[in-house]
Amino acid sequence: MLQLLCALAMLIAGAELLVHCAVRMAANLKVRPLLIGLTVVAFGSSAPQMTVSLQAALNDTPDIAVGSV
């Protein structure tokens, strides 16, 4: 139970940090935060899945590559 609570706390802290940094990036680039949310944050949330698919394709396991899409 303690591990679950620690993982949840880390997840919340990471999400807060991501939002804070995305808003700061939008301010520094002088663009709307929506634009950062639609591009940078969306890419960041899709990157792990894309990495799994790419690695599976390179390891000649197309079932996993297609299954993770």
Token pair listed for 49: 């899945």
Q: Has residue 12 got a pLDDT over 90?
A: yes
Domain enclosing residue 56, as ranges: 2-67
pTM of the model: 0.63
Per DSSP, the residues of 37-49 read: IIIIIHHHHHHHH
Number of domains the chain contains: 1
Tens-digit pLDDT profile for residues 16-30: 998 899 999 999 999
Q: Has residue 6 got a pLDDT over 90?
A: yes
Q: What does the pLDDT read at residue 62?
A: 78
Q: What does the pLDDT read at residue 18?
A: 87
Return d(Cα 11, Cα 28) in angstroms, integer: 26
